[in-house]
Amino acid sequence: MRVPNPSPCCSSGANPYYPPRARWYSGLGNLAYLASRKLGLDTLCRRLNISAPRLLLSIALPGYSCFVLERRRWGQAILACYCLAGVVSLIWLGHVVAHLAMGTMISLHVFSQLQLLTRWPSEMSSRTRIATSLGVLLATSLLMYAPLRAVLERHCFLPLRVQDRVVVISPSAATGNVRRGDLIAYRIRSAWVGNTRLRAGYGMGRIEALAGDRIRFDEDAYTINDVTRARRAYMPRNLEWVVPQNHWFIWPDSAIKASGNGDILPTVVQELALVPESQFAGKPFQRWFGRKQWEP
């Protein structure tokens, strides 16, 4: 008995009468298309004669637009200079040379983006070109580099200037690993204490006392749990503190910048010296690219 051949609709092979099934990632393409329509990128792509993915990559990646325009040497030069400036800004983080290197990176990135204007169908006036360049520079700085810098400083590294020296902090350090005598950085909240204003910023110092420790300030010394030490600048006299729970005692040598005459009020000093654990910002790296970091 002959078995009939299976019909084309039941065949496991490709069928020319039926379109192929949609891939799992086809929805992403539709989403990108809708986003480009909402942002007006489709009109910009038509005027620049470029696809939306290439336009987005030209905006995001320094030098990529030059490869799109078949100016490979320009693209390679921009990318090489950008990477070199990035290495310099990372090694000398917090120094003036790092700021100059970061400015160079942004300038190269914007220069690369503006290369797409050579495809603009009509000639631009000088005023329009200047206004466009300034707008691209402002948008790139505020929408790309400022958020990236904030993320890096929150999770990777934070440069602080302490007594005219730069110290790079590791924000990823956990408060559970902090011990008495450790050098840490902490945030200072903006607040008014009486008639004195505390400006928001950062401080750095060693943890001298933990929660529950007793601190007594005398005329020429201060004592922590019966251990006497020499009195330091701006310390109050004839007072006794108990470090509250979830606080550290850190004498704020790097945070006090007083103006005027006379001693600072004890309440102001207490606000600065008793640091909540929630204001912990990190611990300094021991070395930064081979350089031993300065310790106050």
User: What is the pLDDT at residue 199?
Assistant: 82
Last residue of a domain, one of 93, 123, 156: 156
Is residue 130 in a domain?
yes
Is residue 40 in a domain?
no
The answer to whether the beta carbons of residues 203 and 186 sit under 8 Å apart is yes
Q: How confident is the model at residue 262 (pLDDT cuts 50, 70, 90)?
A: very low
User: What is the pLDDT at residue 12?
Assistant: 47
Residues spanned by the domain of 272: 159-292
Say which range, 7-11, 129-133, 267-271, has the weakest mean pLDDT.
Answer: 7-11
Q: Token digits for 67? A: 């490869």
Q: 30-83: per-residue pLDDT in tens?
A: 655 665 565 667 777 887 888 888 888 999 999 999 999 999 999 999 999 999
User: What is the pLDDT at residue 4?
Assistant: 54
More confident residue, 34 or 91: 91
- Please compute the mean of the pLDDT values over residues 100-120 and round it to a whole number: 93
On whether both 77 and 147 belong to a single domain, the answer is yes
Report which of 184, 143, 161 is spatially closest to residue 59, judged by C-alpha positions. Answer: 143
**Total domain count, the chain:** 2
Q: How confident is the model at residue 18 (pLDDT cuts 50, 70, 90)?
A: low
- Please compute the mean of the pLDDT values over residues 106-130 and round it to a whole number: 88
Q: 163-213: per-residue pLDDT in tens?
A: 788 999 999 888 888 999 999 999 988 877 777 777 888 989 999 999 999
Last residue of a domain, one of 156, 179, 197: 156
Stated pTM of the model: 0.76
Instruction: Return d(Cα 158, Cα 163) in angstroms, integer.
Output: 16
How far is the CA of 224 from the CAs of 16, 282, 283, in angstroms? Answer: 86, 24, 23
Percentage above 70 pLDDT, the chain: 82
The dihedral through the CA atoms of 209, 212, 217, 218 has a sign that is: negative
Is residue 219 in a domain?
yes
On whether both 132 and 166 belong to a single domain, the answer is no
On whether both 115 and 167 belong to a single domain, the answer is no
Most confident of 14-23, 111-120, 139-148: 139-148
Average pLDDT of every residue of the chain: 85
User: What is the pLDDT at residue 118?
Assistant: 83
Q: Token digits for 8? A: 């084309």
On whether both 260 and 183 belong to a single domain, the answer is yes
Is residue 228 in a domain?
yes
pLDDT of 259 higher than 80: no
User: What is the pLDDT at residue 211?
Assistant: 94
Residues 6+ apart with CB under 8 A from 270: 241
